[in-house]
C-alpha cells in the first residue's frame, strides 16, 4: 500500500542505480530533450500521444492503400488501434508527469525516429506485401496475441491508475494491489502489449525493435525507479518478497508457492 513518506531524519539512504543505467538515462534525456539546443516546442506527451493515438488511422490507411482486409490486418487494427485509444483516455484521466518535459526540434525528431516510429514496423509487415505472399496466421496465434494483449492492457491501465491514486495521497512505497507480487506491473503490461504486435508480424524485426526499447529505455528507467524507491522504509522487505517483472516463487515446506 502507499505509505506516507517518512521524515527526512528517518529516511533511508538511497541505493545507487548501476552506473551504466544512469549513463544511458542521461544520454537518452539529452538526445530526446536537449539535442541541438534552441527552442523547445514539443512536449514529450504530445509526441507520444500523436504516435499512439494515430496508430489506428495509420494501420487503416495501410489496409486501404494495399487492399488488405484479411484477418491478420483486422486483428492488428483492433488490438493496436484500441490500445492507442486507451492510452489517450489514460492520459486524459491520469497523465504521467514525466511526459511533461519539453524537447527541442532535433530532440523531438530523434525521439520519433529512434523510438516511436519503429513501433510502426510491425503493422507495415502485417499489412503490406513487403515480405511477399504469406498465409493468414493460424487461429491459435491470433488467439495468443489477443490474450497477451488483453492481459497487458489490463495490467498497464490498472497499475498506472493505482499508482496515480496512491501517489496523489502522498509519496511512498506502493506495495498492495497489482504491486503486491510484482514491482513493475505497468512495464510488464506494456511489454505484453507490444509482444502481441510483434507476434502478429511473424518476423524478427519487430522483436529487434522491442529488444532495443526494452533494453536501452525500459531497463534503465526501471533500475532508476528502484534506486529512488530504496529510500522508503520497508523497501528491503518488499523487494525480497516480490519479483522484478514476474511474481517471485518462494520455496516453503518442500513446495513452491507465490
Reading the block at residue 248, the C-alpha cell is 517471485
Q: How far is CA 7 from the centre of its chain?
A: 32
Query: Which pLDDT score is estimated for 179?
Result: 96
Query: Which pLDDT score is estimated for 171?
Result: 85
Contact 182, 156 (CB under 8 A): no
257 φ, ψ (degrees, to nearest 5)? -145, 160
Q: How many CB atoms lie within 10 A of CB 19?
A: 8
Helices 44-66, 71-93: inter-axial angle, 10-degree rounding: 160
pLDDT by position in tens, the chain (length 258): 333 333 333 555 667 889 999 999 999 999 999 999 999 999 999 999 999 999 999 999 999 999 999 999 999 999 999 999 999 999 999 999 889 999 999 999 999 999 999 999 999 999 999 999 999 999 999 999 999 999 999 999 999 999 999 999 988 899 999 999 999 999 999 999 999 999 999 999 999 999 999 999 999 999 999 999 999 999 999 999 999 999 987 655 555 555
| b/e 90-112 (16+ beta carbons within 10 angstroms → b) | bbeebeeeeeeebbbeebbbbbb
Is 6 exposed, middle or buried (CB count within 10 Å of its CB: 0-12, 13-18, 19+)? middle
Query: Which pLDDT score is estimated for 9?
Result: 36
Strands (E), the chain: 42-43, 102-103, 250-252, 255-257
Query: Which pLDDT score is estimated for 21?
Result: 92
Residue ranges of domains in the chain = 17-243
Amino acid at each position: 500500500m502507499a505509505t506516507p513518506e517518512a521524515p527526512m531524519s528517518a529516511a533511508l539512504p538511497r541505493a545507487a542505480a548501476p552506473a551504466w543505467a544512469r549513463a544511458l538515462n542521461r544520454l537518452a534525456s539529452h538526445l530526446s530533450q536537449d539535442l541541438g539546443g534552441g527552442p523547445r516546442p514539443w512536449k514529450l506527451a504530445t509526441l507520444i500521444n500523436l504516435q499512439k493515438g494515430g496508430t489506428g488511422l495509420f494501420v487503416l490507411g495501410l489496409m486501404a492503400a494495399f487492399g488488405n482486409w484479411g484477418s491478420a490486418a483486422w486483428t492488428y487494427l483492433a488490438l493496436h488501434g484500441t490500445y492507442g485509444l486507451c492510452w489517450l483516455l489514460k492520459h486524459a484521466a491520469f497523465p504521467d508527469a514525466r511526459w511533461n518535459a519539453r524537447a527541442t526540434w532535433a530532440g523531438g525528431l530523434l525521439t520519433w525516429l529512434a523510438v516511436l516510429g519503429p513501433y510502426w514496423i510491425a503493422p507495415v509487415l502485417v499489412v503490406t506485401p513487403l515480405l511477399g505472399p504469406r498465409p493468414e496466421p493460424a487461429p491459435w496465434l491470433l488467439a495468443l496475441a489477443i490474450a497477451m494483449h488483453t492481459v497487458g492492457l489490463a495490467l498497464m491501465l490498472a497499475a498506472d491508475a493505482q499508482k496515480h491514486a496512491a501517489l496523489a495521497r502522498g509519496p511512498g512505497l506502493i506495495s498492495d494491489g497489482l504491486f503486491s507480487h510484482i514491482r513493475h506491473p505497468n512495464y510488464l503490461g506494456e511489454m505484453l502489449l507490444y509482444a502481441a504486435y510483434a507476434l502478429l508480424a511473424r518476423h524478427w524485426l519487430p522483436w529487434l525493435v522491442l529488444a532495443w526499447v526494452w533494453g536501452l529505455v525500459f531497463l534503465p528507467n526501471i533500475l532508476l525507479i528502484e534506486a529512488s524507491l530504496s529510500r522508503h522504509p520497508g523497501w528491503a522487505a518488499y523487494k525480497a518478497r516480490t519479483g522484478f517483472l514476474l511474481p517471485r516463487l518462494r520455496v516453503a515446506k518442500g513446495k513452491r508457492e507465490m
